[in-house]
Amino acid sequence: MTHERVSSYSHWIGGRMVAGTSGRAGDVFNPSLGVVAARVAFASETEVGAAVDAARAAFPGWAATPALKRARVLFKFKEIVEQRRGELAKLIASEHGKLVSDAAGEVTRGLEVVEFACGAPHLLKGEFSDNVGTGVDTYSLRQPVGVAAGITPFNFPAMVPLWMFPVALACGNSFVLKPSERDPGPGLLLAQWLAEAGLPPGVFNVVNGDKVAVDALLRHPEVNAVSFVGSTPIAEYVQREGVAHGKRVQALGGAKNHLVMLPDADTDQVCDALLGAAYGSAGERCMAISVAVAVGDATADRLVSTLSTRVRSLRIDHSQNGDADMGPLITAAHRAKVVDYIGAGVAEGARLVVDGRGHKVAGHDNGFFLGGSLFDSVTPAMKIYREEIFGPVLVVLRVPTLAAAVKLVNSHEYANGTAVFTRDGAAAREFVQAIEVGMVGVNVPIPVPMAFFSFGGWRRSSFSDHAMHGPEGVRFYTRLKTVTSRWLPAPGGKGAGTAEFVMPTMK
């Protein structure tokens, strides 16, 4: 499989491409052209079972492979992705619709997790204490959980899988990926590159599909861990079903990320931040800023006046245009959903300062394009504030004080990411301490942690005991084993015949 002129996608099982046999399939669009570019096979429960069987069969050998050798496979994989990142970025852009430059950034952020996972020999080191009792030592091991599954969203078809499987593989697990059926190409391409890097057959598998495939993974008795990124209703479902079937689960859900602008913040700098954070990738990011909270009416007036001019001048074009700021949305259905949200905002009384509906791109009349939209005078009761829109729509709320801004953010059901823009260090520290959100930026609009930290939100943005990648990822993909060891004397030697019937304590 290459990324050019592919007419159909199937599955990757046991180290090779396997044709779908379920008789069900879905469309993969080119969002810039608005046409069907390929078909993707939807896996049956039997086909998912075959992928899990392959992963289970490969697991013992991979788990027994020294961490150093596992890391060398990942090093080789990293080299391949680095050498061919342009190919992967073009494939992402053609199926998702984001700009090639944006897709290249996605690949880079995914590679950072591979780089982190290459440190497997260090990451998996346990702890040791000698002589915790006379002649007794205690040490810990971190061992793989078994077969792990990843269920990933359409908006980052390379980066989110790369948040999951490199850490899982480095820890000695085998893996089954179920990518979004809307852009399945990148997952299959990464599978091929893993095989080229020397990963044994069956250690990494890809099954494409819909809810049938998801449910099969959640219920399969040989799947030990499930990682998910997507909407909150599905994250909640994945967590509930996975736990009910005895699995450990990471399930990251939706977001409504706020940027709080204090009166001392520079208006142009805030507008620069908001343009990229709200409208980059057409707003189809779980860490997109979709709410601007202005402290004081004067602050809000400055912000809306400057920002509205810049939103109107956004350069919107097909994904291959290197001079564009934003490409299309992923499907016509998703564009229609975002348009409905804009209509709802108008109906509820918000002031539509910039209306992105009806935007057309010359030569791409059928593309799934939508211009940037900007609302002012939004209230917390409005649908466009309460719900995740996942499109190029930014809403502005006005509050009188920093305390009111913190209360607003902390009252929202989503708590993925947030940011504050200010030149006042004390105010920034107050915000960081008081805010109840998983990831916080100070003058950084999209505070996605680096790979050696961990990614995860709070409240209804995450249904997980462990965040993704970084140290939390290692803990999720391993089980702790603690060993207490004593070497006994020869039979008949000192200590023989001293059975104890009380609670053992160290002496």
Which 3 state secondary structure label does DSSP give 316?
strand
Give one word for 34, left, alpha or beta, with left for phi > 0 and alpha for psi -120 to 50: left
The string over 205-232, giving b where at least 16 C-beta atoms fall within 10 Å of a residue's C-beta and e elsewhere, is bbbbbeebbbbbbbebeebbbbbbbbbb
Query: What are 206's strand-pairing partners?
Result: 12, 177
| Integer Cα distance of 157 and 104 in angstroms | 12
- The answer to whether the CB of 413 falls within 8 A of the CB of 460 is yes
Which 3 state secondary structure label does DSSP give 479?
strand
Q: If 0-12 CB within 10 Å is exposed, 13-18 middle and 19+ buried, where does residue 167 land? A: buried
| Integer Cα distance of 366 and 32 in angstroms | 8
Q: How many CA atoms, within 13 angstroms, populate the side-chain half-sphere of residue 296?
A: 9
What number of H helices and E strands is found in the chain?
Answer: 16, 22
Catalytic residue among 118, 171, 271, 286: 286
- The answer to whether the CB of 36 falls within 8 A of the CB of 203 is no
Nearest to 258 by CA among 102, 159, 404: 404
CA 183 vs CA 81, 188, 317: distances in Å? 18, 10, 20
Contacts of 486 (CB under 8 A, 6+ apart): 133, 135, 136, 137
| Integer Cα distance of 484 and 136 in angstroms | 7
Q: How many CA atoms, within 13 angstroms, populate the side-chain half-sphere of residue 39?
A: 9
286 given a catalytic annotation: yes
Nearest to 368 by CA among 345, 391, 395, 394: 391
| Integer Cα distance of 381 and 393 in angstroms | 17
The catalytic residues are 286
